[in-house]
Amino acid sequence: MALMLAITGGTGFVGGHTIHAALARGHKVLALARKPQPPREGVGWVPGHLADEAALDLLTARADAVIHIAGVTNAPDRAGFEQGNILGTAYVRRAAQGRPLVHVSSLSAREPQLSTYGWSKLMGEQIARGAAGPVATLRPPAVYGPGDREFLELMRTARSGFIPMPRGSLTSMVYGADLGEALVALAEELSGPARSEGQIYEINDGNHGYTPAQVADAIGAAIGRRVRAVPVSAATLRLAAMGDTAWAKLKGTQPRLTRDRAGYMAHPDWSSNSAALLALNIWQPRTGLMAGMAETARSYRAQGLLP
């Protein structure tokens, strides 16, 4: 059955892959956008933002289900995370008005004591679960793929032959296109007669976790270089975050590595268990790390972003 899906965060990296997956599966999309967007077949752009009640009502009025992706991954203070990840979710929950709601959280919510970001995502989960209709929460791990900027910087750094990575860490990964397909599949599941609701799902690419050496090998193969992972301690991460924050303040910009980010990056175990999601029989990962990194590097080269 074709659905009308209301999507927040549709202009972002994960949102773009989700819209593509929705259209490929025969659905129509209504997507919230702060700035004017070029016309796209099957997509209706709704001007506005999460705190715009009228825009959210317009976004959801004709929707069969809502996929809430928009959120904040980096903020200068606690208030920024509260506004983007807690209040933003509350606004979407109100606008959903009993419609099926797929809420995108983060694996960081599993360890809320490590960062304000993780805490805010956990609070967002609790708000989403109070919705009037069926709800499913997905906790993605590290997400990469064409359109992502974080791994672009990592690949640029890797051209030196080295990439700094947290010491002794284990990290799950998921390809952006696969994540988009999973979100649409969950919206379909919640909209069906045999829906599984109220669950928190983890997701990965079929491997529960990669070592720094495995990530470095995949990036190296993608860029055609031998790359070595250089282990970085938690203390070094914190010092680097202090330096980046001070430098950004001098430039009047937002630091990329904040103390909050350093807090969860230093955690040794970001492995994930996708068994509950796979048990629904609605989704399977298509892209492993080697193939995904290769495709990501090709997309960067095609845009002139990587040699």
Backbone angles phi, psi at 219, to 5 degrees: -65, -40
Task: Let me know if residue 159 belongs to a domain.
Answer: no
pLDDT reading at 250 higher than 80: no
- Asked if the structure places residue 212 within a domain, the reply is no
User: Does residue 262 sit within a domain?
Assistant: no
Residue 211 in domain: no
Tell me the mean pLDDT in the region 167-192. Answer: 96
Distance of CA 145 to the CA centre of its chain: 11
The region of weakest confidence among 77-86, 200-209, 258-267, 295-304 is 258-267
**Residue 76: predicted pLDDT:** 85
Average pLDDT of the residues in 172-193: 96
Segment 185-243, tens digit of pLDDT: 999 999 988 666 789 999 999 999 999 999 999 999 999 999 999 998 878 878 877 87
Bigger pLDDT: 47 or 132?
47
Which stretches of the chain are assigned E, i.e. beta strand? 4-8, 28-33, 43-47, 65-68, 101-104, 135-139, 142-144, 162-166, 170-171, 173-175, 199-202, 228-232, 269-270
- Average pLDDT of 114-143? 96
Supply the CATH number for residue 131's domain.
3.40.50.720
Instruction: Tell whether 257 is covered by a domain.
Output: no
Digit-coded pLDDT (tens) for 49-98: 999 999 999 999 999 999 999 999 998 899 999 999 999 999 999 999 99
pLDDT at 194: 64
CA–CA separation, 57 and 99 (whole Å)? 12
Average pLDDT over residues 163-171: 89
Domain assignment present for residue 88? The answer is: yes
Range of the structural domain that residue 137 is part of: 4-145+173-206+271-287
Whether residue 166 lies inside any domain: the answer is no
What's the mean pLDDT when you consider all of the chain?
94
Structurally, how many domains does the chain consist of? 1
Note the pLDDT of residue 238: 81
Q: Which residue(s) pair with 220 in the sheet?
A: none
Q: Which of 201, 141, 212, 149 is nearest to 174 (CA)?
A: 141
User: In the predicted model, is pLDDT for residue 166 greater than 80?
Assistant: yes
Domain presence at residue 296 = no
